[in-house]
Amino acid sequence: LIMYCNKCGAEVNDGNAFCTNCGSPLNKAKIEFAERTEPKEPQNFKIKCIRCRSCDLHPLTEDITTSKTTGSDFSVGKGCLGYLLMGPFGILCGACGKNKKTTTTTTHKNYWVCKDCGFKFKDLATLETEINTYKSSLILTSVALIFWCILMIYMIISFNCTAFLLICLAIGIVIGGINFFSNWTAMKNAQEEYDNTKRIFME
């Protein structure tokens, strides 16, 4: 069987202990076999390297594991609502119903590796998945920002607020704005990369 080094993507023969290209130790459990599922591109596209335009490519799959902690020890939203309903003591509602947990997810990303120049780039399906993920995050962030802005305007107009609550709301809006801009920039870059890759494939 022809196998590929999981570090540099070079071909290695079955039985080799080290990669002949980069010298890395070969762990058979981590080597990508040629029989694995290749990235699927539309049949009317000609897969080629987006740097040197070579068609001598081979697929490479990377597993990326990330950990994300959701929730917190204090909920600003619950605290604000508690204040509106029960006054200053309602702020303590923010400490009710703590729900802090850490989740671990593994993402599979498919790449093409050029055998001529060694350039590695994402396949179109992976780029589409990233773009859709950023779009979902933008929608959720937009809804949250609208809610916080409406709540802040209401509290200012009704004079039913304190400087502490206004600061908390302002901080939440700033953080949401930064998150929105970050996701928008990442989505724009992914879209540009997708369009460029697709254009080269169609040449």
Amino acid identity of 85?
A: L
Q: What is the mean pLDDT of the segment spanning 138-144?
A: 92
Instruction: Report the number of secondary-structure helices (H) and strands (E) in the chain.
Output: 3, 6
Q: What is the pLDDT of residue 32?
A: 43
pLDDT for position 30? 42
**Mean predicted confidence (pLDDT) in 88-102:** 63
Residue 131 has pLDDT above 90, yes or no: yes
pLDDT in the model for residue 138: 93
Q: Tell me if 51 sits within 8 A of 117, measured CB to CB.
A: yes
Within a 13 Å sphere around the CA of 66, how many CA atoms are in the beta-carbon half? 7
pTM to 2 decimal places: 0.59
Alpha-carbon distance values, 170 to 14, 95, 164 (Å): 60, 20, 10
First to last CA, the chain: 33
Which token pair is 193?
């990369």
Distance CA 151, CA 153 (A): 6
Two tokens, residue 120: 């590695």
Higher pLDDT, 175 or 64: 175
CA distance 188 to 58: 27
| pLDDT, tens digit (0-9, with 9 covering 90-100), for 14-66 | 667 777 676 667 665 444 444 444 455 555 567 888 889 888 888 888 877 87
DSSP run (H or E) holding 106: strand 101-114
Q: pLDDT grade, residue 79 (50/70/90)?
A: low
Q: Which residue has the higher pLDDT, 13 or 55?
A: 55
Contact between residue 83 and residue 91 where contact means Cβ atoms under 8 Å apart: yes
- Taking the mean position of all CA atoms in its chain, how far away is CA 144? 19
Please, what is the average pLDDT of the chain?
76
At 104, the pLDDT band (50, 70, 90 cuts) reads: confident
Q: What pLDDT shows up at residue 155?
A: 78
Looking at per-residue confidence, does 183 or 62 come out higher? 183
Query: How far is residue 166's CA from residue 83's CA, in Å, rounded to a whole number?
Result: 12
What are the φ and ψ backbone dihedral angles of 131, each rounded to 5 degrees?
-65, -45
Question: Identity (one letter) of the amino acid at 124?
Answer: L
